[in-house]
């Protein structure tokens, strides 16, 4: 049996993408098992692999680990991406929760009804620019270090880069007013494991498009 973690999810970013990012950043090879149909999901449920009948699930160290945040936390802890003490961990958690909130706003855009999409996007980009990104810019400015927490590479850096790139897909100049986030983006993108993940052919998934929705909806609904 392979010692590599195995990720069960559909072939799309969704809730699994940050887990892919964290494993890749840690330099961990992983396998993916894509759900293509409702029957694939039903089979995992029948196998007893899904605690709450939901994915993501990661097969790791002989267990089936569910719940996105739990999987991400355990990767961060296992690969030393989670700070050196409780205070650093709390800071990392606070920054990551903000990132998750922003990511959720951006990721739910395509799922809005047609007449609500424009407003949803405007609100999301306004919050990105005026609520979330200023926080990370200020953190970097105040301590003057290369990484968000403890002058050391952590999951907060990985997940911030992920959401910065997602936000740029919606608004390419969204970092215009944030010079430190621009240099942060360049610096973290250049870390060898991340550089590799950003190259074509990696397990990073492309942005979701309208045409992908029916394929995904038939699995989960």
Which residue ranges make up the site for ligand GSN (CB under 6 A)? 14-15, 53-56, 67-68, 220
Residue among 140 and 158 whose Cβ is closer to ligand GSN: 158
Measured CA to CA, the distance from residue 169 to residue 165 in angstroms comes to: 6
**Residue for token pair 């003057």:** 144
Cβ proximity to ligand GSN: between 55 and 174 the closer is 55
Task: Take residue 58 and report the two structure tokens written for it.
Answer: 């990661």
Beta bridge partners of 64: 59
CB 99 within 8 A of CB 129: no
> What is the nearest approach in angstroms of ligand GSN to the Cβ of residue 220?
5
CB of 189 to ligand GSN, least distance (A): 27
Shortest reach from residue 9's CB to ligand GSN, in Å: 7
Helix/strand/coil for 57: strand
Give dist(CA 60, CA 41) in Å, integer: 19
Task: Say if residues 27 and 3 touch (Cβ distance below 8 Å).
Answer: no
Q: Which residue is nearest to ligand GSN (CB)?
A: 54
* Residue with Cβ nearer ligand GSN (11 or 67): 67
Nearer to ligand GSN, 42 or 176 (CB): 42
CB 158 within 8 A of CB 188: yes
When the beta carbons of 135 and 217 are compared against ligand GSN, the nearer one is 217
Least distance (Å) from ligand GSN to the CB of residue 80?
A: 24
| Whole-angstrom distance, CA of residue 36 vs CA of residue 58 | 17
In terms of Cβ atoms closer than 10 Å to its own Cβ (0-12, 13-18, 19+), residue 115 is exposed
Question: Nearest distance from residue 12's CB to ligand GSN, in Å?
Answer: 9
């Amino acid at each position: 049996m392979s010692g590599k973690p195995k990720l069960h999810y559909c072939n799309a970013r969704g809730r699994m993408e940050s887990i892919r990012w964290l494993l890749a950043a840690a330099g961990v090879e992983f396998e993916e098992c894509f759900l293509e149909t409702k029957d694939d999901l039903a089979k995992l449920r029948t196998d007893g692999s899904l605690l709450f009948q939901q994915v993501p699930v990661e097969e790791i160290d002989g267990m089936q680990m569910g719940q996105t945040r739990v999987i991400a936390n355990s990767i961060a802890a296992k690969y030393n991406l989670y700070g050196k003490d409780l205070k650093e961990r709390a800071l990392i958690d606070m920054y990551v929760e903000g990132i998750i909130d922003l990511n959720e706003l951006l990721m739910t855009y395509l799922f809005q009804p047609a007449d609500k999409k424009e407003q949803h996007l405007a609100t999301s980009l306004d919050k990105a620019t005026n609520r979330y990104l200023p926080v990370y810019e200020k953190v970097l400015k105040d301590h003057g270090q290369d990484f968000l927490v403890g002058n050391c590479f952590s999951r907060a850096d990985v997940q911030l880069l992920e959401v910065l790139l997602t936000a740029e897909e919606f608004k390419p100049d969204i970092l215009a007013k944030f010079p430190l986030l621009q240099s942060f983006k360049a610096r973290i993108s250049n870390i060898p494991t991340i550089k590799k993940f950003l190259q074509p052919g990696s397990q990073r998934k492309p942005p979701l498009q309208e045409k992908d929705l029916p394929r995904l909806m038939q699995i989960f609904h």
